[in-house]
Amino acid sequence: MVRETAVELVAVIEDGERVPDWAIAVAAARGTPIRCVPTSELTGVRLENAREILRYANWRVTLSDRVRLLAALDQEGSLALAEAMTTIRNGVDPIAALAALALRRFVDLDLDSGRIGPETRVARWRD
């Protein structure tokens, strides 16, 4: 997890289990703290939605699509996912572009109010 001033590694573990030794070694080698989050703390649809968008972590979004979407969000405040998809013109997969922008903290997707769908709200990322 990238915070404003530092990087923190987050390990999601099953209840009662511990962080694998290799993860502790990676954190120590990078000089970054590691935080354990039991799966029981990840409630509702947030985990499922996070899994859905994580597959797009390496997706590349064109500069023109990013600027077009951010300009639309500046003008409207927020958009439904279906509306935001119409701003993506150069990508083959608008959902992939929006997920990648959410993972890079350009936009914020509402992951808590239900499964990701056409009505999911998309807004500019604000710290």
Compute the mean pLDDT over every residue in the chain, rounded to the nearest whole number. Answer: 86
| Pairing mode, strands 34-38 and 107-109 | unpaired
The better pLDDT of the pair 15, 101 is held by: 101
Please give the pLDDT value at position 30. 84
How far does Cα 6 stand from its chain's mean position? 18
Please give the pLDDT value at position 5. 56
CA 85 to CA 96: how far, in whole Å?
A: 10
Go through the domains of the chain in sequence order and give each one's CATH number: 9-42 (no CATH), 48-124 (1.10.10)
Residue 9 scores a pLDDT above 80 = no
Q: What is the dihedral of CA 13, 2, 79, 82, to 10 degrees?
A: -50
Task: Give me 58's structure tokens.
Answer: 């390496």
pTM comes to 0.68
List 109's β-bridge partners, or say none: 122
CA 14 to CA 17: how far, in whole Å?
A: 6
What is the C-alpha radius of gyration for the chain, rounded to an integer number of angstroms? 17
**Band (2; pLDDT cuts 50, 70, 90):** very low
Averaged pLDDT for residues 110-118:
90
Please give the pLDDT value at position 71. 96
